[in-house]
Amino acid sequence: MARPLGVAVIGAGYWGPNLARNFRAHPAWDLVAVCDRDRARAEKVVGARSTVEVCTDVEAVLARPDVDAVAIATPAATHASIALAALEAGKHVVVEKPLAPDSTDASKMVRAARDAGRVLMIDHTYCYTPAVQYIRDAIAKGALGRILYLEFTRINLGLIQPDVDVLWDLAPHDLSILDAILPGGLAPTRVSAVGSDPLGAGKACVAHLNLDTRDGATVHIAVNWLSPTKIRQTVIGGTHRTLVWDDLDPARRISVHDRGVQIGPSGPDLRERSAVSYRLGDITVPALEEREALSAMVGEFAAAIREDRPPATDGIAGLRVLSVLEAASASAADHGRPVRPRHVNAENGDME
């Protein structure tokens, strides 16, 4: 068997410990270092009596010959500079979302990875959950019929981030899910968003994002840092069935409802056109594997490196999400005026 790949986690704050734990446990990886400006914080992640090295110097990590790849879990504003330095040093890179603070920096990262012949991956964790993989397959097989609408609710009493608003903090999860489950990926024709700051925090704490897809479906995403109730729910309505995903209900994460509404046929008869019938069929609850999505993500990172191929959530996927986030910010700044997001060129990472 091939030797495990050496990896260093850069950033030991909120997400870094989760990455370190999964790299440490995965047979494809050898966690050799955890790097953070706060040495005590990195030591806490590594634990006592560990052979994993603790350091505070990113340049020293990138100079190590036993580091094949780095996982970047630092503030978003630093993602591009660290990733570009790592790619220049010949390292493969996985980055916590968002890929970069803007699409200009993200495009530079995509081009640098291509030129260096290295893997650039975005940690869109939800894309590696059994639930999202089930939804993607159900849509691809036509089990739901033509998709009419998708509703995402992601609200909780959350941490108000110092560097991003609620849209940039929470909506990337749902946008990455859309990119994974929609045929052709995330490519909306129009984006509109509104946000509010009822606390006077200086950034939106409550926001609503609406997208129109190329196939005529509508998407609504509600995100909120101020809700006392935590909700993680997605409803996907199709012409045949409706799928409900409740990520907080392990006994019934997904339910598929053979229920719907049908209006009368088009024609001259007003009574026929206005007639509404309801279909009340069975509810199916599929059995899903319970496993940590991050473990699947680090496994995909290793497989992409070994097989010299793009990972399932590559830099282009991160760019597509950034394109929509930038359009949403522009719309929210203009009181919800619809904005057409820029197209991402999948060949070279340019924004068009």
DSSP states of 46-92 as a string? Answer: H-TT--SEEES-HHHHHT-TT--EEEE-S-GGGHHHHHHHHHHTT-E
The pTM score is 0.91
Residue whose C-alpha is closest to residue 263's, from 277, 283, 282: 277
Residue 315 burial class via C-beta count within 10 angstroms: exposed 0-12, middle 13-18, buried 19 and up: buried
Strand runs labelled E in the chain: 5-10, 29-35, 53-55, 69-72, 92-96, 120-123, 147-157, 190-196, 206-212, 218-224, 226-238, 242-246, 254-263, 276-284
When pLDDT is averaged across residues 183-196 and rounded to a whole number, the result is 94
At 248-302, the pLDDT tens digits run 999 899 999 997 666 656 656 655 555 666 767 789 999 998 889 999 999 999 9
Q: How confident is the model at residue 350 (pLDDT cuts 50, 70, 90)?
A: confident
The answer to whether residues 284 and 171 touch, using CB atoms and an 8 Å cutoff, is: no
Q: How confident is the model at residue 346 (pLDDT cuts 50, 70, 90)?
A: confident
Q: How confident is the model at residue 15 (pLDDT cuts 50, 70, 90)?
A: very high
pLDDT computed for residue 267 by the predictor:
59
DSSP state of 2: P
Q: Buried (b) or exposed (e) across 10-43, using 16+ Cβ within 10 A? A: bbbbebbbbbbbbbbebebbbbbbbbbeeeebbb
Count of C-beta atoms within a 10 Å radius of residue 102 = 17
Q: Which two tokens stand for residue 318?
A: 């991160």
When pLDDT is averaged across residues 47-69 and rounded to a whole number, the result is 94
**Rounded to an integer, what distance in angstroms lies between the CA atom of residue 62 and that of residue 39?**
17
In this model, does residue 28 exceed pLDDT 60? yes
In this model, does residue 39 exceed pLDDT 60? yes
pLDDT computed for residue 310 by the predictor:
96
Reported as half-sphere exposure (CB side, CA atoms, 13 A), residue 98 has a value of 30
* Residue linked to tokens 């706060």: 38
At 146-189, the pLDDT tens digits run 999 999 999 999 888 888 899 999 999 999 999 999 998 999 99
When pLDDT is averaged across residues 195-220 and rounded to a whole number, the result is 94
Beta strands 92-96 and 206-212, pairing class:
unpaired
**Rounded to an integer, what distance in angstroms lies between the CA atom of residue 287 and that of residue 255?**
10
When pLDDT is averaged across residues 63-72 and rounded to a whole number, the result is 97
* Domains of the chain from N-terminus onward: 5-124+293-314 (3.40.50.720), 127-284 (3.30.360.10)
The answer to whether residues 230 and 153 touch, using CB atoms and an 8 Å cutoff, is: no
Q: Which two tokens stand for residue 139?
A: 């849509």
**Rounded to an integer, what distance in angstroms lies between the CA atom of residue 49 and that of residue 31?**
14
**Rounded to an integer, what distance in angstroms lies between the CA atom of residue 263 and that of residue 253?**
30
Q: How confident is the model at residue 218 (pLDDT cuts 50, 70, 90)?
A: very high
> What is the amino acid identity at position 340?
R
In this model, does residue 327 exceed pLDDT 60? yes
pLDDT computed for residue 271 by the predictor:
58
pLDDT computed for residue 343 by the predictor:
86
Residue whose C-alpha is closest to residue 165's, from 125, 195, 203, 198: 203
The answer to whether residues 35 and 99 touch, using CB atoms and an 8 Å cutoff, is: no
Residue whose C-alpha is closest to residue 191's, from 338, 51, 2: 338
pLDDT computed for residue 245 by the predictor:
98
pLDDT computed for residue 182 by the predictor:
95
The answer to whether residues 67 and 288 touch, using CB atoms and an 8 Å cutoff, is: no
The answer to whether residues 64 and 7 touch, using CB atoms and an 8 Å cutoff, is: no
